[in-house]
Amino acid sequence: MIRKPETFDEMLADPHTARSPYSAYFNWFGSENLKHLRRKSADAEAFFRRIGITFNVYGQDEADERLIPFDIVPRIIAADEWTRLERGTEQRVRAINAFLHDIYHRQEIIRAGRIPREIIAGNAAYLPEMIGVDPPGGVYTHVVGVDLVRTGENDFFVLEDNARTPSGVSYMLENRETMLQMFPELFTQLRVRPVSRYPQLLRRSLADCAPPGFSGGKPTVAVLTPGIHNSAYFEHSFLADQMGAELVESQDLRIENGRVVMRTTEGYHPIDVLYRRVDDEYLDPLTFNPESLLGVPGIMDVYRAGNITIANAPGTGIADDKALYSYMPEIVEFYTGESAILKNVPTWRCSEADSLAYVLENLKDLVVKEVHGSGGYGMLVGPAASKKELAAFEAKLRARPGNYIAQPTLALSTVPILTKSGLAPRHVDLRPFVLVSPDRIDMTPGGLTRVALKKGSLVVNSSQGGGTKDTWVLEG
């Protein structure tokens, strides 16, 4: 019989004692009035509604925009814990960029037999159009959101590397803004590292990757959004606004003098760096999906001629593909010569017969994910599934084993949320945001903490009823 592993509570060592990063907050909380805090919580929600940060949930009514619930109890990370995460993440992101360069050039890692080529061949995330392309500044993933989970005092795992267009950074910024408004006194008691420089750092790191020979004093950066119907439109317009960059859509752009230019009030103006929030498939109807109305026809040609920077580079999805995830420790070692600082979650590849047999045998204890899925869609959480759901999933697994990977159900750490009766533990994960420029990697001290609001639930995805918390990294 598998014994249920103990859950690590990040705040409390026992019901009356807070762990060190939380001690000041815990004391403050003890002196506060619960009713008063509940009111603050309602204020926070009103604040979010006012600024309009909403989120579209797929699979529900299309027009159903709703707020991601925000919890006012912060998630607090000690300085030394953060330093370790920072080193591990930087190592991983460095390896991912080296991997992407290799996989679109000489493919040494395949020649060396460290990853099977089948995982690349026939993978839709691998774009032949990127073969031989050298992105300006040598950077493929300008922005990475690495999803981390914790299972113990010193046990952090990488759950996913989001190397295409990770979203959620606007929540990191708005959550902090809200907390500063609600609880200014807390920020005088605790030395919390600021996150507010993120938009400026993003702008700087994008500009540092501009192709040489831009006109004017500094590179022109623009944010490409699919439009107001996209679930993350708020974030696109927010980031453009915060960076002082133009927010553009397909119809604002065209090709002129070998460049991508945008319509402005003073005519067309060339773009040096396009921070695109449009998926690869829709980016260029001349090269990819000809039906796309969201992209820029010819932009891949401009890119391949070296006349624009696309952030993130097309084809980076191959690095965060779930089929590849299980090889990440190898990848880190191959390109950095070091063993991975951050652990991978043990993963069974259902494409392999032995693994499939194990997974089918232990389905009720495992989490099974679609190789190409995201956002928590199409996954099975064994321990939470009914007999009927398990049987249905077993059939899917047998029909297309190569489409799935399985992982043990991790005992995700908890951080308390505020409920009617006070603090109550809920499971969390963490998505810090990493910016890559030609000569540096910056991880903003903080990130998006997602929390499963339902008691006992392990699914933190906002599309599945998760909420968010502000994430505090303490000064050393």
Partner 1 sequence: MQLRINHVTTYTYSEPVFYALQQLRLTPRSGHGQTVLEWSSVISGGTKQLSFDDQFVNHTELVLVDEGVQTIEIVSSGVVDVVDRHGITGRHRGFAPVWLFESATPMTEAGPNLRQLAREVKSETDSGDVLGRLHALSARIAQSVRYETGRTEVTTKAESALAAGHGVCQDHAQIMISVARLLGHPARYVSGYLMMNDRVEQDATHAWCEVWDETLGWIGFDVSNGIAPDDRYVRVAVGRDSRDAAPIMGLRQGAGTEDLHVSLQVQQ
Q: Which is nearer to partner 1, 196 or 289 (CB)?
A: 289
- Residue whose token pair is 């507010």: 196
Strands 343-344 and 155-162, bridge-based pairing: parallel
Binding site for partner 1 (CB under 8 A): 104-107, 110, 117, 121-122, 128-132, 254-258, 285-286, 290, 297-298, 301-302, 304-307
- Residue whose token pair is 């699979």: 59
Query: Measured from the CB of residue 111, what is the shortest distance to partner 1 in angstroms?
Result: 9
The tokens of 54 are what?
Answer: 């909403």
The DSSP letter of residue 373 is -
Query: Measured from the CB of residue 107, what is the shortest distance to partner 1 in angstroms?
Result: 6
Q: Which is nearer to partner 1, 306 or 378 (CB)?
A: 306
Query: Measured from the CB of residue 324, what is the shortest distance to partner 1 in angstroms?
Result: 17
Query: Measured from the CB of residue 402, what is the shortest distance to partner 1 in angstroms?
Result: 14
Query: Measured from the CB of residue 355, what is the shortest distance to partner 1 in angstroms?
Result: 24
Q: Which is nearer to partner 1, 122 or 217 (CB)?
A: 122
Q: Which is nearer to partner 1, 75 or 259 (CB)?
A: 259
Q: Which is nearer to partner 1, 199 or 295 (CB)?
A: 295
Q: Which is nearer to partner 1, 226 or 285 (CB)?
A: 285
Count CA atoms within 13 Å of residue 285 on its CB side: 10
The strand pairing partners of 408, in sequence order, are: 366
Query: Measured from the CB of residue 194, what is the shortest distance to partner 1 in angstroms?
Result: 42
How far separated are the first and last CA of the chain, in Å rounded? Answer: 43
Q: Which is nearer to partner 1, 132 or 212 (CB)?
A: 132
Beta carbons of 258 and 208 less than 8 angstroms apart: no
Query: Measured from the CB of residue 290, what is the shortest distance to partner 1 in angstroms?
Result: 8
Q: Which is nearer to partner 1, 273 or 299 (CB)?
A: 299
Q: Please state, as a whole number, how many other Cβ atoms lie within 10 Å of the Cβ of residue 353.
A: 9
Q: Which is nearer to partner 1, 301 or 370 (CB)?
A: 301
Pick from 468, 450, 376: nearest CA to 413: 450
Query: Measured from the CB of residue 282, what is the shortest distance to partner 1 in angstroms?
Result: 14
In whole angstroms, give the CA distance from residue 176 to residue 170: 10
When computed from its CA atoms, the radius of gyration of the chain, rounded to whole angstroms, is 23
- Residue whose token pair is 């500063």: 180
Query: Measured from the CB of residue 81, what is the shortest distance to partner 1 in angstroms?
Result: 41
Q: What is the DSSP string of 26-62?
A: HHHHHHS-HHHHHHHHHHHHHHHHHHT--EEPTTS-T
Q: Which is nearer to partner 1, 127 or 331 (CB)?
A: 127
Beta carbons of 243 and 173 less than 8 angstroms apart: no
In whole angstroms, give the CA distance from residue 350 to residue 357: 8
In whole angstroms, give the CA distance from residue 442 to residue 444: 6
The tokens of 274 are what?
Answer: 């396009």
Q: Which residues contact 143 (CB under 8 A, 6 or more apart)?
A: 165, 166, 169, 202, 275, 311, 312, 433, 434, 435, 436
Q: What angle do CA 21, 27, 28 make, to 5 degrees?
A: 100
Query: Measured from the CB of residue 179, what is the shortest distance to partner 1 in angstroms?
Result: 47
